[in-house]
Amino acid sequence: MGSKTISSAVIKRLPRYYRYLGDLLENGIERISSKELSIRMKVTASQIRQDLNNFGGFGQQGYGYQVRYLHDEIGKILGLDAKQSMIIIGAGNLGTALAKYDFSHIGFRVAGIFDVRADVIGTEIGGIRVSSFDTVEVFLKEHDVQVAVLTIPRSNAHEAAERLVKAGIGAIWNFAPIDLQLDSNIVVKNVHLDESLMTLSYNNMHKGQERLSYSSYMDG
Amino acid sequence: MGSKTISSAVIKRLPRYYRYLGDLLENGIERISSKELSIRMKVTASQIRQDLNNFGGFGQQGYGYQVRYLHDEIGKILGLDAKQSMIIIGAGNLGTALAKYDFSHIGFRVAGIFDVRADVIGTEIGGIRVSSFDTVEVFLKEHDVQVAVLTIPRSNAHEAAERLVKAGIGAIWNFAPIDLQLDSNIVVKNVHLDESLMTLSYNNMHKGQERLSYSSYMDG
């Protein structure tokens, strides 16, 4: 596929393509030209062609894209067909919300929820019993888990992340407001809600002083 | 302040400066050189100087930055001293989590929570009664609200956003998996959790095929 040289900007755009193509499928649209897709997505047709050419290209000149095929291929590129499992570390408000969220449409399921608080351990969230974080290493030996979701206070986040990595976790979806300093082979994706709200606040305060760039659609 | 020409890349970095400076304050550090700060933040000292020069610069050559002053000034630039209010639209799992989250350290409070579901209206979340979304226009006439947080299904998101905008909301923190098409003077900041997880999945699947760029610390 030649995916070795793909820029992170392209990668960030793939989930949005996937979402738009999923919408088209829902609406029964089977074929779309890059021009039509570009109008819907508000990016240039040339950008779409360039992005998709990174993966070998999926269109036939003059015939447009087969929506189902393109959707499924991008899904495969994103690893969404792999049936991945994640564990949630921290059964607080955000951890609970994520545990109850249905990620199955992008191929993820929650395999376990862990916390350190005695009053939380043993309770059920979305049909899953919260386990003691002390048992996470054993759990990871017995289960195939791709992603750990960190929804714990920042004071514990680093130590927890290091334990998870030592126990074999290779990817962390980090909601704690901290930059984790981990081995370079560990994939970390941050969702820093405070910082997102601060950026919104800035843009709202300074409204009109600059045109908002289209890239604001691309984050998160 | 000359903030008219500031790039969105700089703006995205400000919350991270704010967080690091807050950490320094917590640790009793009153003064820091751009070099020390750069080592902690893993960006170049020259980048820090350039970024801060957008706002007139805050350092004295050879003396470093006064942490408290720089922290508070960046806070002001971000509008965090403005005591802003937000309303949460959608009292589901994510809306509930955000309603219970304490955003007061960045100057935000939740003024109201709204939903359309009869069985949810009238319940309390974090001390706030959930109101009918039908009353949101009246509420916005009577209260000064800067930000609406959309945590509703995508099928309702666009219509709800348009009603909020019509009722005077100028900024939307959007968690619904949809690109809102609103007037260009409405500030929208998206947190697309599905897409964040998909990007993580991609990077984990294609690990080692490319060096993860440092920009992965900057998103969300």
User: Residue written as tokens 């570390």?
Assistant: A89
Whole-number Å distance between alpha carbons of B181 and B214: 31
User: Which residues of A are less than 8 Å from B202 in CB distance?
Assistant: 11, 14, 77-79
Amino acid found at B41: M
The C-alpha of B213 sits at a distance from chain A's nearest C-alpha, in angstroms, of 8
The C-alpha of A81 sits at a distance from chain B's nearest C-alpha, in angstroms, of 11
Residue B23 contacts residue B32 (beta carbons within 8 Å): no
Residue A187 in 3-state DSSP? strand
With 90 as the cut, is the pLDDT of residue B53 above it?
Answer: no
- Answer with the residue of higher pLDDT: B7 or B216: B7
Whole-number Å distance between alpha carbons of B30 and A106: 46
The reply to whether the predicted model has a pTM over 0.95 is no
Tell me: the pLDDT tens digits for A39-90?
A: 999 999 899 988 888 887 677 667 888 999 999 999 999 999 999 999 999 9
Q: Which has the closest alpha carbon to B20: B39, B6, B7?
A: B39
Q: Which has the closest alpha carbon to B199: A160, A101, A17?
A: A17
The two three-digit tokens of residue B210, written as one number = 């490319």
Whole-number Å distance between alpha carbons of B110 and B149: 10
Cα–Cα–Cα angle for A101, B96, B128, rounded to 5 degrees? 165
Tell me: the pLDDT tens digits for B116-157?
A: 999 999 999 999 999 999 999 999 999 999 999 999 999 999
Between chains, do B213 and A78 touch, taking CB under 8 Å as contact? no
With 70 as the cut, is the pLDDT of residue B30 above it?
Answer: yes
Amino acid found at B37: L
Structure ipTM over 0.95, yes or no:
no
pLDDT of A5: 65
Between chains, do B216 and A108 touch, taking CB under 8 Å as contact? no
Whole-number Å distance between alpha carbons of A118 and B110: 30
The C-alpha of A203 sits at a distance from chain B's nearest C-alpha, in angstroms, of 7
